[in-house]
């Protein structure tokens, strides 16, 4: 073999060695990169994060229970409670209370007053009321607890409007102000003035 051929063979071998080395280095490095990327970005490998949001404690309503109950006062009850729950919290009905005149199934509203009525003779310890002011007070109709039939007794309120008031109360909750009755369709200022002195909360 001539010197020229030997030199050519050496050059070819060196070139092949460089190609093999480069190819080997490429595969040694490249497979690691995707793996590292996968580890850093795969959702399953991310640090655990607590995403739980603590639910707020149940809302409460504060109501004033008065009238024919054993323990009148201000009570805090869970949201969604009804008048019957407020009466129970206040020690139940007192002697002489008239539960028929109050809607025990009505939902409570924050800052609401629940006034449990007495029978006609209860306030006087068995004796019918004789004072004019007491009689006037007893005649007032509680717009938060009265039935449609009782609301119908108010001046200017017929059966249809009385039913409308009851439906409005069911849909929007108890009235917090007497003047809120004017929000009921069909009750304007003039009609409201006809009975505003005969209603209570």
pLDDT in tens, 70-94: 999 999 999 999 999 999 999 999 8
In a domain, 93, yes or no: yes
Q: How many CB atoms lie within 10 A of CB 49?
A: 6
In a domain, 186, yes or no: yes
In a domain, 46, yes or no: no
Residue 14 has a pLDDT of 74
| Residue that the structure tokens 């209370």 belong to | 97
Q: Are 67 and 155 part of one and the same domain?
A: yes
Residue 1 has a pLDDT of 56
Q: Are 18 and 80 part of one and the same domain?
A: no
Q: Are 137 and 72 part of one and the same domain?
A: yes
3-class SS at 169?
helix
* Residue (of 144, 17, 27) closest to 83 by Cα position: 144
Task: Give the structural domain span for 29.
Answer: 3-40
Q: Are 93 and 155 part of one and the same domain?
A: yes
In a domain, 48, yes or no: no
Q: Are 74 and 134 part of one and the same domain?
A: yes
pLDDT in tens, 161-196: 888 898 888 888 888 888 888 898 888 888 888 888
Q: Are 78 and 29 part of one and the same domain?
A: no
Q: Are 114 and 23 part of one and the same domain?
A: no
Listed in order, strand segments (DSSP E) in the chain are 60-67, 73-78, 113-116, 141-142, 199-200
Give the pTM: 0.39
Mean of the per-residue pLDDT values of the chain: 75
In a domain, 95, yes or no: yes
Q: Are 31 and 80 part of one and the same domain?
A: no
31-40, 53-62, 153-162: the lowest-pLDDT one: 31-40
CATH number, domain at 67?
A: 1.10.150.320
Residue 99 has a pLDDT of 86
Query: What number is the average pLDDT over the span 131-141?
Result: 52
Domain count of the fold of the chain:
2
| Alpha carbon separation from 71 to 126, 139, 142 (Å, rounded) | 21, 24, 20
At residue 66, does pLDDT exceed 70? yes
């Amino acid at each position: 073999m001539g010197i020229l051929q030997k030199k050519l063979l050496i050059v070819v071998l060196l070139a092949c060695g460089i190609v093999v080395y480069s190819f080997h280095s490429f595969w040694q490095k490249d497979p690691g990169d995707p793996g590292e990327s996968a580890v850093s970005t795969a959702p399953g490998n991310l640090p655990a994060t607590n995403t739980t949001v603590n639910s707020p404690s149940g809302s409460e309503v504060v109501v004033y229970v008065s009238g024919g109950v054993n323990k009148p006062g201000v009570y805090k009850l869970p949201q969604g409670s009804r008048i019957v729950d407020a009466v129970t919290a206040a020690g139940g009905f007192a002697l002489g209370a008239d539960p028929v005149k109050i809607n025990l199934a009505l939902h409570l509203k924050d800052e609401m007053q629940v006034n449990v009525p007495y029978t006609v003779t209860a306030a006087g310890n068995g004796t019918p009321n004789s004072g004019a002011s007491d009689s006037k007070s007893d005649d007032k109709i509680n717009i938060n607890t009265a039935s449609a039939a009782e609301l119908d007794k108010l001046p200017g309120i017929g059966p249809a409007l009385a039913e409308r008031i009851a439906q409005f109360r069911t849909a929007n909750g108890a009235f917090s102000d007497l003047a809120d009755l004017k929000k009921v369709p069909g009750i304007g200022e003039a009609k409201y003035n006809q009975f505003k002195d005969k209603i209570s909360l």
